[in-house]
Amino acid sequence: MLRCRTWLIAFWALLAPLALAAQDTQPPAPYAYTQLDDPALEAQAVQLMASLRCLTCQSQSIADSDAPMAGDMRHQVRARLLAGESPAEIRAWLTERYGDYVSYAPQVNAVTWPLFAVPLGVIGLALLVLVGRLRRKTKGGTAA
Amino acid sequence: MSRIAYLVPLALFAFIAGLGGYLLTQPKDEAIPSQMVAKPLPEFDLPPAGQGLVGVSDGDFVGGEPRLLNLWASWCLPCIAEAPHLASLEQQGAEIIGIAIRDKPEDVAQFLAEHGNPYTRIGADNISGIQFELGSSGLPETYVIDAKGVIRHQHIGDIRAEHVPLLLKRLEAAK
């Protein structure tokens, strides 16, 4: 049993430097993994972080990601909320630098308007067809 | 309705599915360009990244000739590949100011001893704040800053041999 444990320790000791070499060695930023004391502010932070895109792991929000840069971005969000900025101001600060890319909350603008207009158009078209058919049917019904 | 009309939705579906399939085979460009190009450098003031080094602030980019701002780290592997090309830029007269991201003074010193030091100043940023200020999403990245402190160009990824003349041209154009 004792020997087994010694081997296990030796095994982990061998792996440790590999894990250290792969990433930076600095500790995470103060607010990367620490919640704000004010629960209302923390709730705002959580909501905002869930809709901001991680830049190094592009399919995750910064709330979901363990990447050091996502941690640093969470620190920015919490520190700026604490300093009195609103969630909208923080999102604007980031989109000013990264474009709409960084936000998971889609905005209507010159490029994205078809995303919002096309479904409305399709629903309108479907309603027109439906009304036309129902009318034809009721007419046919009264005739018979 | 004629029979052919019934085929229209199927044809539309086949077209969209085909387009989707084609786009899946295309390589995706994952670079996120900064929206800060053509804007002045944001305010910052970073301490030196180690003993004997000089810190960096936005004021250091004002006056004289255009400069390069290089974001790097000792733990970043492409930064090792980039080091000889930064050295060649320095030899050809470019002033390069560096910022080490999430790095330790002893690691910075070891990196400089192994791969050379082409920088006039190296600041330390342990919480990646300068990256968010600049719209940078990875390491290494290099910015051309003109003598008024305005960002003129962003180079994403490591500088390779073929990028050296391009960056020198950008520096010339920023004069």
Question: What is the three-class DSSP state of A61?
Answer: strand
Does position A3 have pLDDT exceeding 70, yes or no? Answer: no
Contact B137 A21 (CB under 8 A): no
Name the more confident of B70 and A143: B70
B107: chain A residues, CB-CB within 8 Å: 25
- Lowest-pLDDT choice from A21-30, A121-130, B44-53: A21-30
Q: ipTM of the predicted structure?
A: 0.84
Chain B residue whose CA is closest to A53: B137
How many of the other CB atoms lie within 10 Å of CB of B153? 20
pLDDT, one tens digit per residue, over A108-141 is 888 889 999 999 999 999 999 999 999 987 776 5
Does position A59 have pLDDT exceeding 60, yes or no? Answer: yes
Nearest Cα to B69, choosing from B88, B81, B86, B85?
B86
> What is the β-pairing status of strands B119-125 and B96-101?
parallel
Could you please report the per-residue DSSP string of chain B? --HHHHHHHHHHHHHHHHHHHHHHHSPP------TTTTSBPPP-EE-BSSTT---EEGGGGBSSS-EEEEEE-TT-HHHHHHHHHHHHHHHTT--EEEEEES--HHHHHHHHHHH---EEEEEEETT-HHHHHHT--SSSEEEEE-TBSBEEEEEES---TTHHHHHHHHHHHT-
Q: What is the mean pLDDT of residues A86-110?
A: 92
Name the more confident of B156 and A58: B156
Q: What is the mean pLDDT of residues B145-168?
A: 96
The residue written with tokens 């990646």 in the block is B128
B143: chain A residues, CB-CB within 8 Å: none
Alpha carbons A40 and A48: distance in angstroms, whole number? 13
Looking at residue B31, its pLDDT comes to 85
Looking at residue B28, its pLDDT comes to 79
pLDDT, one tens digit per residue, over B51-98 is 999 999 999 999 999 999 999 999 999 999 999 999 999 999 999 999
| Residue A19: pLDDT band with limits 50, 70, 90 | very low
Mutate to test the interface with B, among A24, A59, A62 (most CBs of B within 10 A): A24
Nearest Cα to A30, choosing from A65, A62, A75, A64?
A75
CB B65 within 8 A of CB B145: no
Inform me whether the C-beta atom of residue A99 falls under 8 Å from chain B C-beta atoms.
yes
Q: What is the mean pLDDT of residues A86-95?
A: 96
Of chain B, the percentage scoring pLDDT greater than 70 comes to: 99
Alpha carbons A32 and A71: distance in angstroms, whole number? 4
Mutate to test the interface with B, among A49, A59, A75, A98 (most CBs of B within 10 A): A98
| Residue A57: pLDDT band with limits 50, 70, 90 | confident
pLDDT, one tens digit per residue, over B100-135 is 999 999 999 999 999 999 999 999 999 999 999 999
CB A67 within 8 A of CB A54: yes
Looking at residue A26, its pLDDT comes to 83
Does position A39 have pLDDT exceeding 60, yes or no? Answer: yes
